[in-house]
Structures are given as structure tokens and as C-alpha cells.
Amino acid sequence: MAPFVRIEAIKPNPLSLATLCACPCRPCAKNTLVLTRPLSKFNLGLLLHGPRSVVRMRLRGVSGRRRIVAAVARAEPDQVGESDADQEVDKGHQSSQQGETDMETQQKASQLRKRIVFGLGIGISVGGVVLAGGWVFTVALASAVFAGSREYFELVRSRGIAAGMTPPPRYVSRVCSVICALMPILTLYFGLDFSVTSAAFLVAIALLLQRGNPRFSQLSSTIFGLFYCGYLPCFWVKLRCGLAAPALHTRLGAAWPILLGGQAHWTVGLVAALTSISSIIAADTYAFLGGKAFGRTPLTSISPKKTWEGTVVGLGGCIATSVILSKIFCWPSSLLSAIALGFLNFFGSVFGDLTESMIKRDAGVKDSGSLIPGHGGILDRVDSYIFTGALMYSFVKTILPLYGV
């Protein structure tokens, strides 16, 4: 047997060797490769087998048969060390990901708790204000209108909207916010016509007296703010305080304490306002739950999170709530009228929500403000009620008397 040198070492780079061939001198395993490169004095072979690499040299012209083992170096310890280090890195990466996931879960849980706590507080407060009616309801509505109008003009002045138009000056925005807040009070004591006429006149004067050249974009954005934040909310005053006819068939009115107004306190406006607000809350709740459970098809690109499935579930919940309350309050008297009220409430809430979403999308913001912890701004909470008051008042004042209440 010819002498040879056998060296076991770490795997070499196979691209640095020229020729690939099968080993003729020993049986090879399935994954064994033999690389040979003939030289003048000896044959050099590289045997790759699993985790080991074997270098074999067969010498030519050397007398005697001797086996010389030059070096033996095993790769297993190095590979074990590398694998341990990789496992430690993977464990560290997984632990960091787990930590981020836990932190995100805690933040979501905290956000949900805030939404529930402040939502219940707002619901109880609004219920008490609606029951009180009169100047209490009007002043509370005026405060919400002032906060909402301030958020609206901040959205108009944001970079996303102001990039394509000239926003109104700050003093005009502040004057318009004050005028919007006064409109519900003027509506209660002088009527809606007087409040709208005087408000439009004052806003036009504020725009025309500004320094520099007034722009039409300033006028359009300000007038829409006056309409969106001032005019439409005034219909809630007309609905709650203007429809003063007593709801004689309401059982709750018969048991209402005399000190709190007695049965005369339960008017058509009070019942209509409670029915509308409760239906809107039910519509938002059922639409959210339905979208989470069954939502697949997006409703519109304005608000990608809204789905057709959630919309259908919300519509069903809104109509069901309206029908149930009509049985409790004994108003309206017909089932068809109750279904129509539920449909109008849902349509108005969805339209108002999408309108505010369009404004926020152009402004490039997620929330209109941060006034209410866990809920965003005041516009994020009342957007579903902005158009609904006008629809409900028009339906109750004009449509229901044609068919009887």
C-alpha cells in the first residue's frame, strides 16, 4: 500500500477546488464528494463526508509502506460552539419579540379600559343632560359644539389640507368657533333662522376685514365649518326642546316624579331624542362587533376598517333597538314608523362618520384631537350625531304627522 497523509479538518470552500470526481479507493456515503488535483510528485485528494473533511495524499516514488498521520482536527466542537451561540441569539431575539408583544398587549388593554370607563361616564352624563332638557341641554350642546369647531379648524389648518388651499386666519377660526357655540343658545330663544342669518353675516364680516386679500378657499372652508359644526347641531335643540307635545302614552311619564316635572316632562322631543341617541349607540356597537366577527368586504376607501358585513349587522341592531324602544315608550305607535326611525338614524350616523373620516384622511391624522382619553377628540365621538338630529327632526315634524303618530 502506497504511503499517504490523512488530514481531518474543517470544511474547506468547495469553490476553490477545480475538479469533482468519485473516490475510486473507498466506498463513499450518499453525501460524500471527493476532490482530486494531480501533482507531479503526489496525488492530493479531499474527501467531504458529513461534518468531517479528509485530505488524502498519495506519494509517488517513496520506498516503503508507511502511514503518517500529520494532523487531526475535528470540526464538531467548533460547530457546537457556533450552534450554541446561534441558539442564544435566537433566544434573545425571541425574548425581545415576546417583550414587544406583551407591551403592545398591555397598551391595548389599557386603551380598552380607558374607552370603557370614559364611554360609560360620557353615556351617563349625556343621559342626564338629555333628561334635563331646556337650557341645561342647550349649554352642554354649545360646549360640545365649541370644542368640535376648534378641532375642525385645526384640521383645516393641518399640513395635509392647507397644502392645497389657503386656510382661514386664526382669528377668523376663533370667531367662527364662538359663533358656532352661540348658535344653539340663539336657536333655543330666538329660533334657528335668526341664529343662522346672524352667524353667516358675522363670519362674512370677519373674513372680509382680514389683512391681505381674502381667498375663496377661506370662505368655503369657514362656511362649511359653520354649517357642519354650528347649523346641524342646532337641530338637536329643536328636536329635544322644540317638540314640546306631551307623550301621553309613555308609561315612564306616568311614574315620573312630580318634583322633576311629572308626566308633562315626557314630551315627544324627549322620547325622540332618547330613541335616536340609543339607536346610534346600538348601531356603532353592533357594527363594530359585526365587523370584528364577520368583516371581509371593505365598505369604502374613506374608512378602510369599515366593512359591508359590519354595516349590515349595525343596521339590524339599530332597527331592532328602535323597535324595542317604541314598545317601551309607546312611541311611535306603528311598527313601520319605528323601522323608518331606525333606518334614518343608521343612515345619518354612517354618513356623519364617513364625512369626518374624509376630513381626517385629507388632514393626515388618525384622531381629530385628544380631548377624551381613549376616544380621541370630541368630533370622533359626536360625528355620528351631527346629521342625525336634522334627519330625526324633519321626520318627526313633517313625515309622522302625515301618517299619524
Domain boundaries, the chain: 4-76, 136-242, 244-363+370-395
* Tally of CA atoms within 13 A in the half-sphere of 160 that contains its CB: 12
Please answer whether residues 233 and 386 qualify as being in contact, where contact means their C-beta atoms are separated by less than 8 angstroms: yes
Query: Can you tell me which residue has the cell 332618547?
Result: 274
Residue 92 φ/ψ, nearest 5 degrees: -65, -40
For residue 72, what pLDDT is reported? 37
Residues 153 and 176: beta-carbon distance below 8 Å: yes
Contact status, residue 230 vs residue 263, Cβ threshold 8 Å = no
Tell me the three cell numbers of residue 164: 392645497
So what's the pLDDT on residue 10? 42
Q: What are the 10-residue block averages of pLDDT along the chain, 405 residues in total?
A: 45 42 44 44 46 46 40 44 56 65 72 75 89 94 95 89 84 92 94 90 86 84 94 96 86 82 88 95 93 91 90 96 93 91 95 93 86 80 94 92 68
Q: How far apart are CA 86 and CA 90, in angstroms?
A: 6
Overall size of the chain counted in residues: 405
Instruction: Indicate the angle between helix axes 216-226 and 134-156, nearest 10 degrees.
Output: 150
**Contact predicate 272/243, CB 8 Å:** yes
Helix (H, G, I), strand (E, B) or coil at 4: strand
CA distances from 195 to 125, 165, 188, 234, 322 (A): 27, 28, 9, 9, 32
CB atoms within 10 A of CB 140: 17
Distances, alpha carbon 81 to alpha carbons 73, 85, 318, 339, in Å:
15, 6, 65, 73
Residues ≥6 apart with Cβ < 8 Å to 1: 65
pLDDT of residue 311: 95
H or E segment and range at residue 52 = strand 52-59
Q: How far is CA 158 from the centre of its chain?
A: 20
- Which pLDDT does position 257 carry in this prediction? 86
Residue 10 CA to residue 73 CA, distance in Å, equals 7
Classify burial at 362, counting beta carbons within 10 Å of its beta carbon; exposed 0-12, middle 13-18, buried 19 or more. middle
Rounded CA separation 319/75 (Å): 74
Does residue 295 contact residue 309 with C-beta atoms inside 8 Å? yes
Measured CA to CA, the distance from residue 37 to residue 23 in angstroms comes to: 12
